[in-house]
Amino acid sequence: MVTVSLLAGHVAFAQQVTLQGRVREADTNQPVVGCEVYVKGSRQIARTDSTGLFNISRLAPGRQQLQLSSIGHEPLKIEVEVPADGSVLDFRLARRERTLKEVVVAAPQARFGQTRLREVEGTAIFAAKKSEVIVPDNLVANLATNNARQVYARVAGLNIYENDQGGLQLSIGGRGLDPNRTANFNVRQNGYDISADALGYPESYYTPPIEAIKRIQLVRGAASLQYGTQFGGLLNFEMRGPEPDKTVSVVSRQTVGSFGFFNSFNSVGGTVKKLSYYAFAQYKRGDGWRPNSHFDSKTAYADVRYQFTENFKVGAQVTHMDYLAQQPGGLSDEQFARNPRQSNRARNWFEVDWNLFNASADWKLNPRSNINLTTFGLLASRKSLGHRPNRVDTNDSDDLGRDLITGDFRNFGVEARYLNRYQVASKYGVLLVGTRYYSGFNHSIQGFGPAGHSADFTFGEPGPLTTNSYSDYRFPNRNVAVFAENIFYLSEKLSVTPGVRYEYIRTRAEGEYGNVNRDLALNVVSFPITPEERENRRGFVLGGIGVSYKPQEQREFYGNISQNYRSITFSDMRIANPSAVIDPNLQDERGYSADLGLRGDQGQWLTYDVSLFALNYGNRIGEVQTYDANDRVLRRRGNIGRALILGVESYAEADVLRLVQPETGRWSVATFGNLALVRGRYTQSEEQGVKGNNVEFIPTVNLKTGLRAGYGPVKASFQYTYLSDQYTDATNAEVGGVSAVVGLIPAYQVMDASVSWERRWLKLEGSVNNLANAMYFTRRATGYPGPGILPSDGRSFFLTAAVKW
């Protein structure tokens, strides 16, 4: 028999109660571990701990529908009257031997701001992989600005570029990976690609609004076997979906903030019989902390699903995003020291137009087998216009022509996955096989932009006051991959997950380039054009294996090792930059990544993950400081050598009051912290003075910690971030000279604070970013939006009003 005790605590103002109970087995009276308890309409879910206890708070008193489900037991659905006076109700569940049907619960998976992926989710295997899941609904943070420092604070070891007030582009790295536009991760939305070109230009100009995201999933380098070969791994944005229990549900969030910031986010969703729908529209604008930093952004998204039968459903999604941003340019070290808020670039502009398309189908062949088919496409463009001399403190003039770079992206792909849970003799297993076809095409032109001040993205002819560089290239790329992973459950506690992936890649570059020759009066003497065509075909196999040992249900030792691979990007090789030289003999990067860790939960008050990692690069692509014939400081990009990166990443979050007193009532106090200690060295290099140097983009100490407290409907949070010094090139240059594109990024520390209040359909939020008004920077840009130092924002304030009905 299973006994569930429900304790309802009276809550003033909102008249909220707390459900707390214990689940036991009917025949043995033993506690049931992992039983899911859901109150319909509450958007909360609880799971019983090792003693059978569960807790669901912030519920309105009165009649509620309670659902309990546990594998091996009969599910229980019952409607009860839950008074606010603390009355106790008892229930019984019966054990059953037959297989349960799938139970789908539309609710957050945890109270904490970060959790982890299950061993199997949908048609994907995550067993023994280092994974993190961010649940925005559980954060007290500034979501309107996509503030990555707060949103990703619970992910250990991430290195974040912070120079964008509106959060238009996400730039995160880690373990020595360049954060620029998150190019070293396989970035996806709802499981499909959203980057410009997964092979030729794997940069993410589009970032979905955090307000529209249900979960953010990160899987480190071992994701290479299922999702692609990137060293960083997988970053997947799981968008909010239709409300299953409502015909219409509307959310509206309006935010105002410092420096002219305004954000309007509005969504609608629901379910009508077999048809479900969800859509949102967002408008965002701001003037920025520095002059010449204005931006306007619009994003729209629609998701339609149809459930033909219980076992077959289809869906389609469309995403549009466009923005125009003025870019204040980079600063030299001297300029930054004198005044970080200054800008001497008033004519630099950046424009993006992004359109994503997706259609998918899911078949449940039987209770143990699933098939997923996903097709996706991208129609997009990006345009950069501006004056970007090698000497960043040079004054600008409207009479000068500007450098103009445009990129048009047309790609499509299809992925198919089959997952089967099987049993051989007394042993269980899970098999995943899949295949992927991808066709990418991007067209990149660099040439002579117009004089003047406006955002005029029109090419012109070379003249006395125009730039010298020109190129026009097309990059048709093809990729075919097949992969397989299998979980072998050797015992109830031990499992092994080997995997393999075969990749065929064909990259091509077809186009022409030229440089303008001038006389002493800057008149054009000649403009020779050189045609060029390249092709690179390769096929290779990646392998990996993971091991998981669970001495208890809530504790796991895990380890994995997987090969990684990163293709060079031909588009980068033909973009001329006055402060850069690119080695034409660039080779692909190869290597492996490994993790060894312990993770788990302690009751309902603690979650943790502590791990060691190793990342080995062969042919690592990087930059070294060099000089031209006029002794100008330049950076040369090429294969620097072999690098080994080792480190420890730790994360823990504790509900302090629940540790002291399980019945916490209206008060809540939780604290989190993550610490990454990383060391990276070049172990082999043909470049002079590089062997033994620190690998760039690695702060030795990366610390993020914070506190969240609440009383009834009021919640508040405080966060502290600290990163130690890090280098930006392989020579470990301390100062970047007149270009400031290389050199040290000094240690910095930042504090943030947020508060929220919620009652029924209304929610108010406030936040202060960079509470102490620290002057710091996280990035030395090599091209756009620099070159030079890009200062991070100073103190700023934001206020949000949100309604939901």
**94 compared with 632, residue with greater pLDDT:** 94
* Per-residue pLDDT, 336: 96
> Residue 769 domain-assigned?
yes
What's the rounded Cα separation, in Å, for the pair 623 and 583? 10
Q: Is 148 among the domain residues?
A: no
Does any domain span residue 143? Answer: no
Residue 97's pLDDT is: 56
Domain ranges, residue 55: 1-101
Give the number of domains in the chain. Answer: 2
pLDDT-based confidence at 587, cuts 50/70/90? confident
Residue 632: what pLDDT? Answer: 59
For residue 334, the SS3 value is helix
pLDDT tens-digit readout, 731-746 = 999 988 888 988 999 9
Predicted pLDDT of residue 583: 77
Residue 199 lies in a domain: no
DSSP secondary-structure letter at 197? Answer: B
Average pLDDT over residues 682-691: 92
Give the per-residue pLDDT at 440: 94
Segment 147-182, tens digit of pLDDT: 999 999 999 999 999 988 889 999 999 999 999 989
**Is 573's pLDDT higher than 90?**
no
* Residue 101 confidence (pLDDT): 47
Output the pLDDT for position 603.
82
Using the 3D structure, point to which of 101, 133, 161 is the last residue of a domain: 101
Predicted confidence (pLDDT) per residue in 712-732, tens digit: 999 999 999 999 999 999 999
Comparing 259 with 83, the larger pLDDT belongs to 259
Q: Who contacts 357 (Cβ-Cβ below 8 Å, separation ≥6)?
A: 317, 318, 319, 376, 377, 378, 379
Give the CATH number, domain containing residue 31: 2.60.40.1120
pLDDT value of residue 34: 78
Domain boundary among 51, 86, 101: 101
pLDDT at 364: 94
Tell me the two tokens of residue 272.
């009508």
**Phi, psi (5° rounding) for residue 226?**
-100, -35
- Give the tens place of pLDDT for each residue, 102-142: 445 444 445 677 889 999 999 999 999 999 999 999 999 99
- pLDDT higher than threshold 50 for residue 506: yes
Residue 664 has pLDDT above 70, yes or no: no
- The answer as to whether 522 is a domain residue is yes
Report the range of poorest mean pLDDT among 46-50, 230-234, 322-326: 46-50
Helix (H, G, I), strand (E, B) or coil at 785: coil
pLDDT at 368 over 80: yes
Identify the top-confidence range among 39-43, 197-201, 501-505.
501-505
pLDDT at 269 over 70: yes
3 state SS of 229: coil
The chain-wide mean pLDDT, for the chain, equals: 89
Q: How far apart are CA 788 and CA 781, in angstroms?
A: 5
| Per-residue confidence band for 747, with pLDDT thresholds at 50, 70 and 90 | very high
Quick one: pLDDT at residue 7?
36
pLDDT of residue 48: 80
Domain endpoint, select from 101, 128, 155: 101
- Quote the pLDDT of residue 577: 57
**612 exposure class (CB count in 10 Å sphere: 0-12, 13-18, 19+):** middle
- Whether residue 201 lies inside any domain: the answer is no
String of DSSP letters for 224-245:
HHHH---SS-EEEEEE----TT
- Encode 368-395: b = buried (16+ Cβ within 10 Å), e = exposed: eebbbbbbbbbebbbbbbbbbbbbbeee
The bridge status of strand 633-655 relative to strand 580-582 is parallel
The answer, yes or no, to whether residue 267 has pLDDT greater than 80, is yes
What pTM was estimated for this model as a whole? Answer: 0.85
Does some domain include residue 229?
Answer: no
User: Token digits for 186?
Assistant: 């396989």
Please report which confidence band the pLDDT of residue 782 belongs to, taking 50, 70 and 90 as the band edges: confident
Token pair 């037959």: residue: 98
Kindly report, residue by residue over 219-234, the tens digit of the pLDDT: 999 999 999 999 999 9
Q: Is the pLDDT of residue 424 over 60?
A: yes
Q: Are 559 and 497 in contact (CB under 8 A)?
A: no
**Does the pLDDT of residue 679 top 50, yes or no?**
yes
Task: Kindly report which listed range (16-20, 131-135, 345-349, 675-679) carries the lowest average pLDDT score.
Answer: 16-20
The pLDDT value recorded for residue 11 is 36
Would you say how long the chain is, in residues? 805
Which residues, in sequence order, are CB contacts of 370 under 8 Å at separation 6+?
Answer: 122, 123, 362, 363, 364, 418, 419, 420
Q: Shortest CA distance to 242 belongs to which of 190, 312, 319, 305?
A: 305
Q: What is the mean pLDDT of residues 230-247?
A: 94
Q: How far apart are CA 229 and CA 593, in angstroms?
A: 11
Alpha carbon distances (Å) from 490 to 416, 422, 493, 496, 597 = 28, 13, 8, 7, 20
In a domain, 228, yes or no: no
Residue 157 has a pLDDT of: 95
Torsion sign, CA atoms 178, 184, 189, 190: negative
Residues 254 and 262: their CA atoms lie apart, in Å, by 8
The percent of residues in the chain predicted with pLDDT above 90, rounded, is 68
Report phi then psi at 621, rounded to 5.
-85, 130
Q: Stretch 551-555: mean pLDDT, rounded?
A: 91
Residue 6 has what pLDDT?
A: 36
Given a contact cutoff of 8 angstroms between Cβ atoms, the answer to whether 81 and 88 are in contact is: no
pLDDT digits (tens, 9 = 90+) for 191-206: 999 999 988 788 889 9
CATH of the domain at 488: 2.40.170.20
Does the pLDDT of residue 704 top 50, yes or no?
yes
Mean pLDDT of 322-328: 96
